[in-house]
Amino acid sequence: MSQLKPFRAYRPRPELAAQVAAVPYDVVNTQEAAELAKGNPFSFLHVGRPEIDLPPGTDVHSDAVYAKGVSNLRALIGNGSLFRENTPCLYVYQQRMGDHVQAGLVGLCSVEEYETGQIKRHEFTRKDKEDDRTRHVTEQAANAEPVFLTYKAVPYIDHIVNDIRKQLPVYDIVTPDGIGHTVWVVSGETVVYELVHLFNGVEALYIADGHHRTAAAIRYGQARRAAEGPGSGEEPFESFMAVVFPHDQLKIMDYNRVVKDLNGLSQEAFLAKVREKFEVAGSAHRAPQAPTTFGMYLGGTWYELKAKPGSFPASDPVRGLDVSILQENLLGPILGIDDPRTNTRIDFVGGIRGMDELERRVKEGYAVAFAVYPTSLTQLMSVADAGEVMPPKSTWFEPKLRSGLLVRMYED
């Protein structure tokens, strides 16, 4: 079974929703966050990136930053910009990016289910990022930003959600990036009970995006449990806020790579080594057209690389991923990128930026760029089901959830 419980969200007054809604904390740096929030005291970036309200150069891990996040959240609640729902509800959150539409349910998921492996992950987390978000959660006593989960689609859940989407939403905004965000409140006792019951039959939930936010909520719950002793399991700290989408509505984009140099090789010597594991040809396409093929931009020319049969274990859920094939057959042995998590010679470019960004990075100083075919949801679930983790920077989900439209305070 999987838990999805209603809760009393804090959410913006309708006329402020567009000003409150903000990109997640982890897709912008301090300078970008400050620019986005400039002149807008309602932006939720004041909560997720509170250093923007402190003097330039302030250490983002300083006591002052965490305290400012608390005071900014309390101010939004205190001045009525965010108000609390009267009764526990579920919510439908729909996003539209061009022709792509995805609609998920927002509710509370279980800390214990994460601990027992029923909520499955596919990435490792970094302790420094975990520590930072855990402190934000602890001091704010809030799930200020939702976790992004998915599940294997259930037709009857889709049917109920589609009926809700025919009703009048409480928010229907378009953010500056052109993405539509629409929210419906699900307050009827019968439909809430039915959805909760249906999720009891969902075998597992999968973290799509937000592994660090999840880890922070889990650590907060575990710390509270240790401090307060055994309880009923219904304590507020035993759950965390998430948006749960059916898997067949989600869009994973490519997550591409650029490398600063050719590891001491000439272009000719580099291409000769690449041909040992890949078929190499000039390409009329920049982006790869099928799995196990790659686009490569080198010396002003686009090439198609096709992994040779037998050069990778196709049945292995991790080593058969395109990002693994590229890492194990090229980036590691040829370019010397031993650990892409820590090696400073490699950078990663989300597919939302397109192939032009790869060309730009090479023209401005990088030696070579690689376009990677997107990982599929089926591959993600297979890795998670096997109890494995993907290589770093394997998935780029779009559109991103907006923060501030729904906030969960642990006082419930």
Asked whether residue 83 falls in the same domain as residue 185, the answer is yes
pLDDT tens string, the chain, 412 residues long: the values are 899 999 999 999 999 999 999 999 988 999 999 999 999 999 999 999 999 999 999 999 999 999 999 999 999 999 999 999 999 999 999 999 999 999 999 999 999 999 999 999 998 888 899 999 999 999 999 999 999 999 999 999 999 999 999 999 999 999 999 999 999 999 999 999 999 999 999 999 999 999 999 999 999 999 999 999 888 989 999 999 999 999 999 989 999 999 999 999 999 999 999 999 999 999 989 999 999 999 999 999 999 999 999 999 999 999 999 999 999 999 999 999 999 988 999 999 988 889 999 999 999 999 999 999 999 999 999 999 999 999 888 988 999 999 999 999 998 5
Answer whether residue 3 is part of any domain. Answer: no
> How many structural domains compose the chain?
2
Q: pTM for the complete prediction?
A: 0.91
Q: Is the peptide bond before 399 cis (omega within 30 degrees of 0)?
A: yes
How far apart, in whole angstroms, are the C-alpha atoms of residue 201 and residue 98? 33
Q: What is the CATH number of the domain that holds 299?
A: 3.30.1760
Question: If we measure between CA atoms, which residue out of 89, 114, 155 comes closest to residue 2?
Answer: 114
Residues 184 and 70 in one domain: yes
323 shares its domain with 227: no
Q: Are residues 128 and 240 in the same domain?
A: yes
Angstrom distance (rounded) from CA 108 to CA 61: 28
212 plus 354 within the same structural domain: no
Answer yes or no: is 386 within a domain.
Answer: no
Residue span of the structural domain in which 115 resides: 10-251+398-409
Q: What are the angstrom distances between the C-alpha of 144 and each of 126, 241, 270?
A: 20, 9, 47
> Is residue 391 domain-resident?
no
* Residue among 2, 15, 162, 188 at smallest CA distance from 88: 188
CA distances to 68, 144, 389, 407, 411 from 140, rounded to whole Å, are 10, 8, 30, 11, 11
Scan for tokens 């060309």, then name that residue: 359
